[in-house]
Amino acid sequence: MSGSTGIDGFAKRIRSGKSGGMISAWIGIPDPLFVNHLAQEAFDAVVLDMQHGVWDIASAANGIGQGRLAGKPVVVRIPVGDFSSASRLLDAGASGIIAPMINSVADASAFAKATKYPPLGERSWGPTLAMNHTGLPAATYLATANTETVAIAMIETRAALDAADDILGVEGIDGIFIGPSDLSIALSNGAQLAPDTAEMDAVLKALITRCRAHGKFACVFGSNGERAGELLKMGFDFVIAGADTQQLRLGAASAISAARKVQAG
């Protein structure tokens, strides 16, 4: 857990701002073997989405194991406010937790409390699988877990945008993850889902600047590969390049269309 490369160097890499911008898989299909397959591609990490994906705690724990087996750090997005799952997933070997809809200092503090051991928080002891995965003895795991795993607060509402500086100031919050879909719905008062507009870009750039001012990292959801490239150019430390379901269907559509093209030619 102390190296600067590999699965257990993830926290150091993302915090250093020198990762060059990571691209992560985003998986909602709740099959640990699917994680293993997708993790063979050149992703820097894998996110399991428990908020809108269909993972339960047992399948997510196994998904973390399969990601690690494939050599990739696994970060889990928990359901809204489910901070007890946050510490259980760290116990299972997650390298980080993304918490959706963190709208206030109170939300951010409750999240940090669940994911960090004292003196920063009140994470309860029991990282059996995490110690198996990392090979660390208990004392070393305890001494390093607060810095070697990351707590990432999602900014995706008007309230969160207004409180972004205060949220970034909460000790134990390591970085933010912006949800442009929810943010675009919130900023338009429900009128539109428009995550990839110039107006959104201005908001994203301003948030990157706030992260830099606080010495914290910035992550964001990109709806496809091209958008992920733009977001990396903008300076994000960690981006998504579309979700598993979309990538699976695009792969299938492209194979069918290639076959029909050859057949017709």
Piece of 124-132, 139-147, 175-183, 202-210 that binds ligand 3PY (CB under 6 A): 175-183
Q: Which residue among 148, 182, 237, 244 contacts ligand 3PY (CB under 6 A)?
A: 182
Q: Which residue among 109, 140, 181, 224 contacts ligand 3PY (CB under 6 A)?
A: 181
- Respond yes or no: is residue 214 known to be catalytic: no
Chosen from ligand 3PY, Mg ion, none, partner binding at 237 (C-beta under 5 to 8 Å by type): none
Cβ neighbors of 40 (< 8 A, separation 6 or more) are 70
- Record the tokens describing residue 133, joined without a space: 């995965």
Nearer to ligand 3PY, 53 or 73 (CB): 53
Minimal CA–CA distance to 99: which of 113, 67, 215? Answer: 113
We find the least distance from the C-beta atom of residue 106 to ligand 3PY, in angstroms, to be 20
Q: Which residue among 148, 156, 174, 237 contacts Mg ion (CB under 5 A)?
A: 156
Piece of 2-10, 80-88, 174-182, 255-263 that binds ligand 3PY (CB under 6 A): 174-182
Interaction between residue 156 and ligand 3PY (CB under 6 A): yes
- Record the tokens describing residue 105, joined without a space: 């200092």
Nearer to ligand 3PY, 111 or 221 (CB): 221
End-to-end, the C-alpha distance of the chain in Å comes to 54
Piece of 27-35, 120-128, 173-181, 201-209 that binds ligand 3PY (CB under 6 A): 173-181
CA dist 213 → 29, 57, 164, 208 (Å): 36, 35, 12, 9
Dihedral sign for Cα 159, 160, 165, 171, please.
positive
Interaction between residue 179 and Mg ion (CB under 5 A): yes
88/84 Cα distance (integer angstroms): 7
We find the least distance from the C-beta atom of residue 249 to ligand 3PY, in angstroms, to be 17
Q: Residues 196 to 255: which contact ligand 3PY by CB under 6 A? A: 221
User: What does the radius of gyration of the chain's CA atoms come to, in whole angstroms?
Assistant: 18
Minimal CA–CA distance to 43: which of 73, 13, 64? Answer: 73
Helix, strand, coil shares, percent, the chain, to 5: 50, 15, 35
- Record the tokens describing residue 215, joined without a space: 């010495």
Contacting positions for Mg ion (CB under 5 A): 156, 179, 182
Indicate which residues carry an active-site annotation: 52
